[in-house]
Amino acid sequence: MPLQDVELATDELERVKALGLHGIELLSNVNGKSLGEPEFLPFFKVAEELDLPIFVHAQHATFMDRVVGPPFIENIVAFPLEGALGIASMITGGLMEACPRLRLCFSHGGGTFTQLLPRLVDAWHKNPKFHALMPKEPSEYARMFFYDDVFFDNRTVRYLIDVVGAKQVVIGSDYPFMFRDQSPEEEFNDLRLTAEEREWVSSSNCLRFLGLEG
């Protein structure tokens, strides 16, 4: 989606809806600007009004001067941090307060965001100045989002589920890049998901994200 130009991107939302497509994809920043910047709010308001879900994938990290290693290291080390920055901006910038019905799903479980979240929650309780843009505790906004389960370690998936709930997690593939090392069934068995939780994560959460349930 060409979010470099908010007006053009908003027009494209209307076209996507008219074509009968079920959603769009965004990258985690736009020329270095976080998605939670106020200038993007009109776009997200229209996406909310049109009931179009948005999948966000980390890309184009803005701090590669700090990342050391071969070129592919950006995907491994930088993307999880970049994803967390994008999600946090949508909470701390007031986007989810302004667009409470907006459906967003984030790649790779939101990266390192769930590790960052307790710090946000603690700061919110200790600093009332945060409450103007975030009247609710940050964890409540975090549970508005969907997250895929591509974490490469089931202990991390377990933590994600414990933090946001099994009804906000969907299966991801990362195709055609870093393939899953286990089947969803193997993951579900290792996580000891209940039959109801398996149904949520395997299909119904995704259908709800896409607005296709029922």
CB distance 81 to 111 below 8 Å: yes
CA distance 53 to 166: 19
Overall average pLDDT of the 21-48 stretch:
95
Domain span at residue 29 reads: 6-151
And the tokens for 76?
């491994």
Q: How many domains does the chain have?
A: 1
Domain annotation covers residue 159: no
- Counting beta carbons within 10 angstroms of the beta carbon of residue 135, is it exposed (0 to 12), middle (13 to 18) or buried (19 or more)? exposed
Pairing of strands 169-170, 54-57: unpaired
> Does any domain span residue 205?
no
Identify which of 28, 125, 18 has the alpha carbon closest to the alpha carbon of residue 75: 28
Q: Stretch 142-168: mean pLDDT, rounded?
A: 96
Domain CATH number, residue 12: 3.20.20.140
What's the pLDDT at 35?
Answer: 95
The band of 22, judged by pLDDT with boundaries at 50, 70 and 90, is very high
Q: Is residue 101 part of a domain?
A: yes
Average pLDDT over all residues of the chain: 93
Q: Is residue 164 one of the residues assigned to a domain?
A: no
Answer yes or no: are the C-beta atoms of 187 and 154 closer than 8 Å: yes
CA 214 to each of CA 20, 83, 101: distance values in angstroms, whole numbers, following the listed order: 18, 31, 18
